[in-house]
């Protein structure tokens, strides 16, 4: 950071026009405190982890193409022999130092869970799009603590390295939840479990620093004229998320620390043979890990608010309701962790947690209805961001509604730990967060990189992901209600058709993401230059160039209109002739 | 941010006064609009960070509560193995250090450079004394008798099988606290060094003194809870 000379004006290029020379450029990026560069670095690192987690997911689905069967048969010489069919991951046994093909499978689903949760989806939206756009949308030059921001990126990368190292050493088979006593005893002679736990521990610090940075930025760095209720709703989502990150992450920190000590020195706190309590671990773990699913979904909801308003060119319906429902979800999120362990607590506690869990549905439904009402009579543009927003409404609603039977004690007894839970979770996390994240990336791609992407290619990718996603996971609702337990490599023959359909779906998802990758690369290489404001958005990021200059704005912006006043304001960068305003703009609160 | 009327106005020696790190020569970070905004943001950030620290220790206190409820006898025995006089001595030491670190902030605001440094030195001495008492009179003798956590527990006269859990939580709680003492002392040592070398802190630039002091108060506060819960229960 430079001090005192800050107000000196100098010619500014786009934020990624660096010094000449490859090494100098790399050094500039590695030492930058510019939130935009850090956001882009986060985006690439996160997408790389998404790739690793995705490969593990494909491996899991591949193994499940057929059940494991031991078959007696004659070989060519007429001798009777026993072969095992359906162990599709058996080829990885030696590479991963596993004792059996089933252990390979156990490690694969653990890697999928741990990588996707800790290294991809928790940081996904806030650390990449949030870092890039939060200060710009506030009208600020940077986040409140730019150096801490860079530090959080390095901590994130260090955590990921620990995780990747653990994977390279063979991976872990504890499940991403590290439940004791299994996680403290399995692979006792090996460091890989400790490495994976430490990875999650380290990533927590990165999460806390990002959260602190955003909370302070939102409080202190809003542009003149921007009150709390003039903020874009994306910022409300990120703000609510950051509060959860700050308040919940330290608890997982101490939990994982105790877990590491339990494993290395057997301190006994989670070990029933010494009087410890493994359920205490589960309480600690979910006290963080339940709020953290709202860390994953709240910024995604923020993105959807932006996408739907901008691409239907309509004032968002119920601004304050959406803003407060974000805070409401953040508040309730701390009171529902018990629903992960209904069977491990008394009846009264279970009933209370069940009731509190139902509360989450209220603010969530408020948001969904407000988005639908926003679309009503809007001029809806059919493009990739809007398609993703519509896909979100569809899949997220299914994800949300299928959560209710899980919150109900009686039905949860049947559905607990089945594929129904897997399907529900993926409808919310992938059908919610990932879909919104992809929509957000397309929406802000022209701003981040200054290039347009191929709209047809983007829409094709979106449709493939949407169709593949539903094929993959809708089948799992049926599997779950029929009793297919999660985390099993084997199953009865009756389930095979559904499992096969699910696996084919996962290949369609892969195809969709490959199309997106191609579209992005093509855009970076030969994309058409993006205008300042290709969508006609009214938030502050559209008032600066694409890509933004190093200090974001030439002059400090002053906010004179709301972020969604599409019927009152000509979007920045647009010719008023192309944007006829209605004679009698409707009034909004 | 305030300066007071009775602030010390003695000018610093020339080679320090012209140093860019001297408090009069400090600006504020370029992305803030004013010095106040910079100061307020940083202090707000520090308070958020302290919140995370409280929640970190909450895990230990929660585990303590659960096992004290499950095994009251083991907890009662465990507490009686501790000598309350050492705990009380350390409480006094930390309370004194909190007073001196608060005075250090005040001295920075008043530009009393010498007293700023004296207060910081006393605080650091208190930190060292705390760690010394903890290790010399508590950890070493106890570990020598086998009153150790987890697998290292080998105390032959334990009257309750769950006393090992008491020791696990005792060492985790006081150990993490002691780690925080060391971190806080390092921060204050850094402040002392910059104060001594550049007179880096004064009426318009005392953020680092204040934030380190806030951290130190938190360390003190955690001990205020640990002391009775560990030493004074029956």
| Alpha helix positions (H), chain B | 14-17, 35-70, 72-81, 84-109, 113-132, 140-144, 163-198, 207-231
A371 Rama class: left (phi>0) / alpha (psi -120 to 50) / beta: alpha
For residue B153, the chain A residue with the least C-alpha distance is A267
What is the three-state SS of B22-34? CHHHCCCECCCCC
User: Domain coordinates of chain B in residue numbers?
Assistant: 56-231
Dihedral, CA atoms, B99, B100, B102, B106, nearest 10 degrees? 130
Q: Which of B32, B56, B164 sits opposite A268 (nearest CB)?
A: B164
Which pLDDT belongs to residue A589?
47
State whether residue A583 is helix, strand or coil.
coil
Q: Which of A1, A142, A251 sits opposite B58 (nearest CB)?
A: A251
Which pLDDT belongs to residue A8?
41
* Chosen from B36, B59, B153, B176 to mutate, greatest number of chain A CBs within 10 A: B59
How far is A221 from A145, CA to CA, in rounded Å? 11
How far is A266 from B172, CA to CA, in rounded Å? 12
Tell me the nearest-neighbour CA distance from A213 into chain B, angstroms. 7
Tell me the nearest-neighbour CA distance from A568 into chain B, angstroms. 30
Contact A250/B165, CB-based, under 8 Å?
A: no
pLDDT in tens, A18-55: 788 889 999 999 999 999 999 999 999 999 999 999 99
Q: Decide if A108 contacts A56 (C-beta within 8 A).
A: yes
Q: Is B76 on the interface with A (CB under 8 A)?
A: no
pLDDT over 90 percentage in chain A: 85
Tell me the nearest-neighbour CA distance from A160 into chain B, angstroms. 22
Whole-angstrom CA distances from A439 to A102, A136, A371, B224 are 37, 19, 15, 50
Q: Is the pLDDT of residue A300 over 50?
A: yes
pTM of the complete model: 0.94
Which pLDDT belongs to residue A76?
80
Contacts of B204 in chain A (CB under 8 A): none
- Nearest alpha carbon to residue A291 among A239, A328, A336, A234: A336
Give the residue-averaged pLDDT of A505-527.
97
* Chosen from A151, A253, A269, A555 to mutate, greatest number of chain B CBs within 10 A: A269
Residue whose pair of structure tokens reads 């390979």 in the numeric block: A104
Helix (H) or strand (E) segment spanning residue A69: strand A69-74
Token reading at A355: 């009731």
User: Phi, psi (5° rounding) for residue A418?
Assistant: -110, 180
For residue B46, the chain A residue with the least C-alpha distance is A212
State whether residue A68 is helix, strand or coil.
coil
CB under 8 Å to A508, separation ≥6 — which residues? A464, A467, A468, A471, A472
Whole-angstrom CA distances from B209 to B36, B107, B116 are 16, 10, 10
Which pLDDT belongs to residue A85?
87
Which pLDDT belongs to residue B4?
52
By the 10 Å C-beta count (0-12 exposed, 13-18 middle, 19+ buried), A260 is classed as: middle
Q: Is the pLDDT of residue A484 over 80?
A: yes
Which pLDDT belongs to residue B46?
97
How far is A523 from A540, CA to CA, in rounded Å? 24
User: Phi, psi (5° rounding) for residue A82?
Assistant: -110, 125
pLDDT in tens, A144-172: 999 999 999 999 999 999 999 999 999 99
Give the residue-averaged pLDDT of A9-19.
71
Q: Could you tell me which residues are beta bridge partners of residue A418?
A: A485
Which pLDDT belongs to residue A495?
96
Q: Decide if A361 contacts A410 (C-beta within 8 A).
A: no
Which pLDDT belongs to residue B206?
94
pLDDT in tens, A429-463: 999 999 999 999 999 999 999 999 999 999 999 99
End-to-end distance of chain A based on CA atoms, in angstroms? Answer: 40
A482: Cα separation from own chain's centroid: 29
State whether residue A225 is helix, strand or coil.
coil
Token reading at A266: 């057997």
Q: Is the pLDDT of residue A541 over 80?
A: yes
Helix axes A455-481, A384-401, angle to 10 degrees: 10
Token reading at A150: 């860079």
Contact A3/B26, CB-based, under 8 Å?
A: yes
How far is A72 from B135, CA to CA, in rounded Å? 67
Which pLDDT belongs to residue B226?
97
* Under-70 pLDDT residues of chain B: 1-6
The count of C-alpha atoms lying within 13 angstroms of the C-alpha of B98, restricted to the half-sphere facing its C-beta, is 17
pLDDT band at residue A504 using 50, 70 and 90 as cut-offs = very high
Contact B45/A140, CB-based, under 8 Å?
A: no
pLDDT band at residue A14 using 50, 70 and 90 as cut-offs = confident
Which pLDDT belongs to residue A12?
65
Contacts of A556 in chain B (CB under 8 A): 33
Which pLDDT belongs to residue A1?
36
Q: Could you tell me which residues are beta bridge partners of residue A82?
A: A72
Give the residue-averaged pLDDT of A226-253.
96
* Chosen from B33, B47, B55, B69 to mutate, greatest number of chain A CBs within 10 A: B55
Residue whose pair of structure tokens reads 């058709």 in the numeric block: A497
Q: Which of A144, A262, A284 sits opposite B59 (nearest CB)?
A: A284
| Alpha helix positions (H), A64-186 | 101-114, 131-138, 146-168, 182-185
Which pLDDT belongs to residue B6?
60
Question: Cis link prior to B226 (omega < 30° from 0)?
Answer: no
Which pLDDT belongs to residue A10?
47
pLDDT over 70 percentage in chain A: 97
How far is A26 from A116, CA to CA, in rounded Å? 28
Rg (chain A; Cα; Å) = 25
Helix (H) or strand (E) segment spanning residue A80: strand A80-85
Which pLDDT belongs to residue A585?
63
Contact A144/B45, CB-based, under 8 Å?
A: yes
Q: Is B39 on the interface with A (CB under 8 A)?
A: no
User: Phi, psi (5° rounding) for residue A386?
Assistant: -65, -40
By the 10 Å C-beta count (0-12 exposed, 13-18 middle, 19+ buried), A329 is classed as: buried
Contact B56/A253, CB-based, under 8 Å?
A: yes
Which pLDDT belongs to residue B27?
86
Which pLDDT belongs to residue A586?
62
State whether residue B85 is helix, strand or coil.
helix
In this prediction the ipTM stands at 0.93
- Nearest alpha carbon to residue B171 among B139, B137, B132: B139
* Averaged pLDDT of chain A: 93
Q: Decide if A215 contacts A249 (C-beta within 8 A).
A: no
CATH domain B56-231 topology: 1.20.120
Which pLDDT belongs to residue B129?
98
């Amino acid at each position: 950071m430079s001090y005192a000379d800050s107000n000196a004006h100098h010619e500014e290029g786009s934020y990624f026009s660096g010094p000449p020379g490859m090494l100098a450029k790399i050094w500039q990026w590695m030492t930058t405190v510019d939130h935009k560069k850090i956001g882009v670095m986060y985006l690439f690192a996160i997408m790389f982890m998404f790739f690793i987690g995705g490969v593990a997911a494909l491996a899991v689905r591949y193994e499940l193409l057929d059940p494991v069967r031991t078959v007696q048969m004659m070989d060519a010489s007429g001798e009777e022999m026993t072969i095992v069919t359906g162990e599709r991951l058996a080829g990885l046994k030696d590479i991963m130092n596993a004792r059996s093909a089933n252990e390979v499978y156990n490690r694969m689903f653990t890697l999928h869970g741990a990588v996707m949760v800790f290294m991809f989806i928790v940081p996904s939206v806030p650390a990449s799009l949030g870092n890039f756009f939060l200060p710009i949308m506030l009208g600020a030059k940077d986040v409140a603590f730019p150096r801490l921001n860079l530090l959080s990126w390095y901590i994130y990368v260090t955590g990921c390295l620990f995780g990747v190292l653990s994977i390279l050493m063979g991976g872990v088979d504890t499940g991403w939840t590290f439940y004791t006593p299994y996680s403290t005893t399995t692979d006792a002679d090996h460091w890989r479990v400790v490495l994976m736990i430490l990875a999650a521990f380290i990533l927590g610090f990165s999460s806390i620093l990002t959260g602190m940075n955003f909370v302070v930025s939102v409080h202190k760095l809003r542009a003149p004229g921007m009150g709390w209720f003039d903020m874009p709703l994306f910022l409300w989502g990120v703000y609510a998320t950051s509060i959860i990150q700050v308040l919940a992450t330290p608890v997982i920190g101490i939990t994982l620390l105790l877990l590491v000590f339990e494993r290395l020195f057997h301190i006994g706190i989670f070990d029933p043979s010494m009087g410890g309590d493994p359920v205490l671990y589960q309480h600690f773990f979910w006290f963080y890990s339940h709020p953290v699913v709202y860390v994953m979904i709240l910024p995604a909801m923020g993105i959807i608010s932006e996408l739907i308003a901008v691409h239907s060119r309509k004032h968002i319906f119920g601004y304050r309701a959406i803003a407060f429902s974000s805070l409401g979800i953040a508040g309730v999120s701390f009171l529902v962790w018990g629903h992960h362990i209904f069977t491990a607590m008394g009846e009264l506690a279970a009933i209370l947690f069940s009731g509190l869990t139902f509360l989450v549905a209220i603010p969530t439904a408020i948001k969904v209805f407000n988005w639908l009402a926003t679309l009503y009579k809007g001029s809806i543009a059919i493009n990739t961001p809007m398609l993703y927003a519509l896909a979100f409404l569809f899949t997220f609603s299914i994800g949300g509604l299928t959560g209710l039977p899980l919150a109900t004690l009686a039905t949860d007894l049947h559905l607990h730990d089945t594929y129904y839970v897997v399907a529900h979770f993926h409808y919310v996390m992938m059908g919610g967060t990932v879909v919104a994240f992809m929509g957000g990336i397309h929406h802000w791609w022209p701003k981040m990189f200054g290039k347009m992407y191929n709209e047809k290619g983007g829409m094709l990718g979106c449709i493939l992901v949407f169709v593949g996603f539903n094929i993959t996971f809708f089948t799992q609702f049926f599997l779950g209600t029929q009793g297919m337990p999660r985390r099993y490599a084997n199953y009865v023959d009756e389930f095979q058709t559904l499992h096969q359909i699910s696996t084919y779906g996962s290949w369609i998802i892969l195809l969709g993401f490959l199309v997106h990758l191609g579209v992005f690369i093509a855009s970076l290489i030969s994309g058409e230059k993006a205008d300042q404001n290709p969508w006609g958005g009214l938030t502050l990021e559209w008032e600066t160039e694409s890509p933004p200059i190093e200090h974001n704005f030439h002059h400090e912006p002053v906010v004179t209109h709301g972020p969604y006043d599409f019927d009152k304001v000509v979007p920045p960068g647009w010719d008023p002739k192309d944007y006829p305003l209605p004679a009698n703009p409707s009034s909004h609160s | 941010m305030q300066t007071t009327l009775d602030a010390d106005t003695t000018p610093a020696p020339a080679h320090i006064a012209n140093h860019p790190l001297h408090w009069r020569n400090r600006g504020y970070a370029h992305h803030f609009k004013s010095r106040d905004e910079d100061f307020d943001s940083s202090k707000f950030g520090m308070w958020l960070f302290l919140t995370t620290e409280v929640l970190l220790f909450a895990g230990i206190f929660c585990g303590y509560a659960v096992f004290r409820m499950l095994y009251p006898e083991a907890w009662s025995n465990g507490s009686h193995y501790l000598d309350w006089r050492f705990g009380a001595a350390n409480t006094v030491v930390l309370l004194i250090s909190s007073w001196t670190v608060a005075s250090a902030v005040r001295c920075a605001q008043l530009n009393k450079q010498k007293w700023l440094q004296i207060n910081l030195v006393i605080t650091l001495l208190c930190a060292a004394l705390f760690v010394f008492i903890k290790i010399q009179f508590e950890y070493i003798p106890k570990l020598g008798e086998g009153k150790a956590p987890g697998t290292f527990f080998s105390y032959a006269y334990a009257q309750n099988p769950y006393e090992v859990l008491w020791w696990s939580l005792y060492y985790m709680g006081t150990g993490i606290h002691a780690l925080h003492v060391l971190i806080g002392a390092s921060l204050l040592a850094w402040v002392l060094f910059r104060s001594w070398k550049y007179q880096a802190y004064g009426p318009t630039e005392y953020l680092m003194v204040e934030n380190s002091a806030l951290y130190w108060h938190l360390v003190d506060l955690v001990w205020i809870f640990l002391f009775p819960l560990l030493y004074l229960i029956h």
